[in-house]
Amino acid sequence: MSTDFVPETEDDEQPETAQEKKEGEDAATDAETGTSKEAGEKKEEAEFQRRYLNEKWYGRYGNNGAFLEYNESDEWKEVDEDMREFVEQLWYEQQNAEQQTKNYTWDEEKKEWIRKENAALDDDTIAEYQAHYGEQFIKEYDQIYEKMDAELKEKTEAKIKEVEEKREKKKMKKAGQPQQQGWIDMEEKSTAVYVSGMPTDVTIEEFTEFMSKCGVIQQDPRTRRSKIKLYLDDEGNSKGDGRCCYIKMESVELALSILDGARMRDCEVKVEKAHFELKGEFDPAKKKRKLTPAQKKRFFESQNKIFEWKPDKPRNYRPLSDCTVIIKNLFTLEQMAKNAALLLDLKEEVEQSCAKYGAVKKVVVYDNNPEGVVSVAFESTEHSDLAVKMLNGRIVDGRELKCSLWDGKTKYKVQETEEEAKRRIAAWEERIQKGRQGDDDNEEEGEEEEGDSDEGEGEDEETTEEPEEKRQKSEQETDE
């Protein structure tokens, strides 16, 4: 079966025009007739196939014939041995692609391959699929899925078991059943060492300095004291032995290798792991109360900070607090009490005036501070230094301003007491009442002025009537 299947061109390839394709097919058919006569009777009986591969036409007789190449001289020539393997690979790839698409058709509207309606899933199609993808891949994927299912099943069972155990513990607590109490073996996790053979007059400071050579000594989370102890006799004198608890387990191993056999003054010291034994019966009352999760978190964070590495600060380093300027004597409490809008006005004025020295990030007015404090935060220390230089000693309303950089510790916010709050509210109520009385007085004065104006208009009318009467009388007298 001959085919004219041409593979899709890549983006950088130019598609073959219809005229070129027709000329190529005509030339190929002419050359086919010429070579078929030379090939002999066996090749004439075999079917000739041709395909356009790698921008050239290739052909062969049947499935076992040699690969032929259509050259520029319009002749079919056998492919060289160097190119034979490459052409064969391209040939079979193209052939497989043709076989895969024989049961599908291209839909121009949907822009996708659609299976033909009459294409049945027969044994040949299944065999072809397995030949391309292989049964081995299917088996491997089945094994992978089985393994994933088994792992998921194990995790699910473990989670269910954990949830059930938690439920049982909660039930026991609700039922009032006491949990099992007693000593717990913590020898494997213990970082304590027992030290003996020390001088009897050894002090806790000397013992701490001696044991600190191998690591950091742990602190008690409740008392914040080092967990190091000297054992005393009944009279309160040191027995020459003690216990030290480190933070890291590596410190224990280091102490066993370095301090064991070392000399403290004239005594040879012996260091070994601390072993704890139960003396008497267990007393729950002596058991220390457990730390809360928040307390544990804070304790371990502070403990881990000891082992953090921080680079040395540069010589020109300046803290972040140096970007904040503190201005004092900018206002008084009397001014704040009289004018409620002074707080906002001051904040706006300070921000505008300090913007000359650099970008202002934040302005805070501490209205209850008797020193009249205002803080201004700049983006850099250069701006804050310039502001201090320009504002320090300036006179405002007869008061000398004092400007300095914030030390990062002083708090300028003053909380108003209840008495001050009551006094302030009473003053405002009194001021509001005075304002209302002033408004009432103004209204009364306005009404009186209106009344006076009405009386004046009546008098004017009377005065205008008198000359008219005189004029009439004078006219009558003249007539007589």
* pLDDT string in tens for the chain (480-residue length): 444 444 444 444 444 444 555 555 555 555 555 444 444 444 444 578 888 887 888 888 877 788 888 887 778 888 888 888 888 888 888 877 777 666 677 777 777 767 666 555 566 666 666 665 555 666 777 788 888 888 899 999 999 998 988 888 887 776 655 555 555 555 667 899 999 999 999 999 999 999 999 999 999 888 889 999 999 988 888 899 999 999 999 999 999 999 999 999 889 999 999 887 776 676 777 777 788 888 888 888 888 888 888 788 888 889 999 999 999 999 998 888 888 788 899 999 999 999 999 999 999 999 889 999 999 999 999 999 999 999 999 998 889 999 999 999 999 998 878 887 787 788 778 878 777 776 666 666 665 665 555 555 554 444 444 555 555 555 555 454
Residue 460 CA, distance from chain mean position: 88
374 in Cβ contact with 348 (< 8 Å):
no
Residue 90 CA, distance from chain mean position: 52
* Phi-psi map region of 42: left, alpha, beta (phi>0 left; psi -120 to 50 alpha): alpha
Residues with Cβ within 8 Å of 92's Cβ and at least 6 positions away in sequence, in order, are none
- Lookup result for tokens 């503190």: 326
Angle at 467 between CA 463 and CA 468, to 5 degrees: 110
Burial per residue of 131-157, b for 16 or more beta-carbon CB atoms within 10 angstroms, e otherwise: eeeeeeeeeeeeeeeeeeeeeeeeeee
* Rounded CA separation 260/253 (Å): 10
Count of positions (residues) in the chain: 480
Structure tokens belonging to residue 112: 């996708």
Helix residue ranges, H only, 101-224: 123-133, 135-175, 204-211
121 in Cβ contact with 32 (< 8 Å):
no
Tell me the torsion sign for CA atoms 202, 207, 209, 214. Answer: positive
Order of all β-strands in the sheet with 68-70: 48-53, 56-61, 68-70, 76-78
* Rounded CA separation 162/350 (Å): 62
pLDDT of residue 470: 53
77 in Cβ contact with 68 (< 8 Å):
yes
205 in Cβ contact with 228 (< 8 Å):
no
Residues with Cβ within 8 Å of 444's Cβ and at least 6 positions away in sequence, in order, are none
- Lookup result for tokens 């082992």: 307
Structure tokens belonging to residue 59: 């052909």
Q: How many CA atoms lie within 13 A of 370 on its CB side?
A: 2
Distances (CA, A) of 444 to 50, 431, 449, 458: 117, 20, 9, 22
Residues with Cβ within 8 Å of 468's Cβ and at least 6 positions away in sequence, in order, are none
pLDDT of residue 352: 93
Helix residue ranges, H only, 184-317: 204-211, 249-258, 293-304
Angle at 31 between CA 29 and CA 35, to 5 degrees: 120
Structure tokens belonging to residue 214: 């191998």
Helix residue ranges, H only, 4-134: 18-39, 41-45, 81-100, 123-133
CA nearest neighbour of 61 among 87, 35, 83: 35
* Rounded CA separation 93/426 (Å): 98
pLDDT of residue 281: 72
* Rounded CA separation 43/30 (Å): 16
* Rounded CA separation 26/70 (Å): 12
CA nearest neighbour of 350 among 371, 333, 328: 328
pLDDT of residue 6: 42
pLDDT of residue 183: 52
Give strand pairing partners of 362. 377
pLDDT of residue 430: 80
